[in-house]
Amino acid sequence: MTNDEVGDLVDRYRVVRSHTEELAAPFSAEDQTVQSMPDVSPMKWHRAHTTWFFETFVLGMADESHVPVDPTFSTLFNSYYVAVGPRYERAARGVISRPGSAEVGEYRRRVDEAMLALLAADDDPAIAEVTILGLNHEQQHQELMAMDIKHVLSRNPLVNRPGVIDWSPAPTSQESLQAFEGGLCQLGVDPATPFSFDNEGPQHQIFVAPFSLADRLVTNRRYLAFIDDGGYERPDLWLSDGWALAQAQGWEAPLYWERGASGWEEFTLLGRGGLDLERPVAHVSYYEADAFARWAEARLPTEAEWEVAVRALGATDDERHGTLHPTGVGDDHFGSLWQWTQSAYAPYPGFAPAAGAVGEYNGKFMINNQVLRGSACVTPPGHSRPSYRNFFNPGSRWMFSGIRLASGAS
């Protein structure tokens, strides 16, 4: 690496790592300890786990004699890297009171000190590569921190005064469909892209039939019409597993909606308030998105359609994200809400995971998940691409997920 590249990486390291602590700052030690469901991790766990990643995969690689800050952290803050050693039971992360929030802060400081020293002293490209992976990994956890703390605080009857953070998608308006030609297209990340996750490639050919894609996300107003038309009471609109889950959990609306005295209310980190009908509907599962699309006589796009259209539109995750273009075309492909696709999360042709423990990253989740595309209002700046593949179980609702409709041969 050149000195400039080293300098850039050091800067980027500082920025990303600081952003995590800024995100956590408004939340108390107690807020950061709670795990409100197995999918959620405590905020201090995220702060420690992302640090463990650098300690294990960068400091440990650069210096095999690296003495861990605390050997128990290897067990506590390993997540799914089975190859690296024993892990603490995921669903019991909320039982771990120690290290506390302040001690995690100290752990971060010590690892940062070592990392910054290493990056300044060493221009080994392998170190740079894993560091960059670690920073992207930390950005993913920044979004998880937002999703998770929202869920944690939503379980508490005191949440009508939780904070001053507004993580909501920007208002939008009624969508209309735009036609795309399809044909033999390229799918997957351009090899020239500076960084991407392994699951975004290899780039490959795919045949896409002509299709139409909505220019904006579905609004709360439209979704309310679905509810009012019995959307949650008509099994014919639902996938079988979705209907079973909705019945078992008593779904009547998206997560965080509640019936108030004068109509539907929504919980955000600003408190519980009236539902804003102009904002995109958020916190819906794949099952709800799919049922809504069927009710609307449309369907969800495939991930290929989504990527083809976004490339054609030249939509990017710039500063205008989540807003309307002067042209009147919605530009909420990025920065508003992740968009469910009808594509199961699967390897692209020729996919090969990275070697070693880091290679556990993505491939092992390629079952029972659906792909979401775009990015959301809680996605860190710069952490999105047309080829980015997010994925969640079809029943999950605590992420910032929305609906973009499609039609034509799917």
Q: Would you tell me which residues interact with a second copy (CB under 8 A)? A: 28-34, 36, 44, 70, 72, 75-76, 80, 82-83, 88, 92, 94-101, 152-153, 155-159, 162, 184, 202, 204-207, 209, 235-236, 238-243, 286-287, 290, 342-344, 346-347, 349-351, 360, 364-368, 370, 394, 409-410
Closest C-alpha to 279, from 254, 313, 259: 254
Nearer of residues 259 and 364 to a second copy, judged by Cβ: 364
Measuring CA to CA, how many Å separate 287 from each of 138, 369, 385? Answer: 29, 12, 25
According to DSSP, the residues that pair with 344 across neighbouring strands are 370
Please give the helix or strand (H or E) that residue 244 lies within, else none: helix 240-249
Nearer of residues 264 and 351 to a second copy, judged by Cβ: 351
Nearest-angstrom CA–CA distance, 406 and 236? 20
Nearer of residues 13 and 340 to a second copy, judged by Cβ: 340
Nearer of residues 34 and 281 to a second copy, judged by Cβ: 34
**Number of other residues whose CB lies within 10 A of the CB of residue 203:** 15
Nearer of residues 171 and 202 to a second copy, judged by Cβ: 202
18, with CB counted inside 10 A (0-12, 13-18, 19+), is exposed
- Pairing verdict, β 406-407 and 211-214: antiparallel
Least distance CB 184 / a second copy (angstroms): 6
Closest C-alpha to 114, from 3, 47, 17: 17
Least distance CB 158 / a second copy (angstroms): 5
Nearest-angstrom CA–CA distance, 303 and 340? 9
What are the two backbone dihedrals, phi and then psi, of residue 339, each rounded to the nearest 5 degrees? -120, 120
Nearer of residues 55 and 290 to a second copy, judged by Cβ: 290
Least distance CB 240 / a second copy (angstroms): 4
| Tokens linked to 224 | 């309310």
Nearest-angstrom CA–CA distance, 100 and 44? 8
Type of residue numbered 405: L
Nearer of residues 131 and 302 to a second copy, judged by Cβ: 302
Least distance CB 67 / a second copy (angstroms): 17
Nearest-angstrom CA–CA distance, 115 and 127? 10
Least distance CB 105 / a second copy (angstroms): 13
Least distance CB 205 / a second copy (angstroms): 5
Least distance CB 10 / a second copy (angstroms): 32
Nearer of residues 235 and 273 to a second copy, judged by Cβ: 235
Nearest-angstrom CA–CA distance, 357 and 57? 9
Nearer of residues 239 and 324 to a second copy, judged by Cβ: 239
Least distance CB 290 / a second copy (angstroms): 8
DSSP result, 344-392? E--PPTT--PPSSGGGGSSGGG-SS-EEEES-BTTSPTT---TT--EEE
Least distance CB 204 / a second copy (angstroms): 7
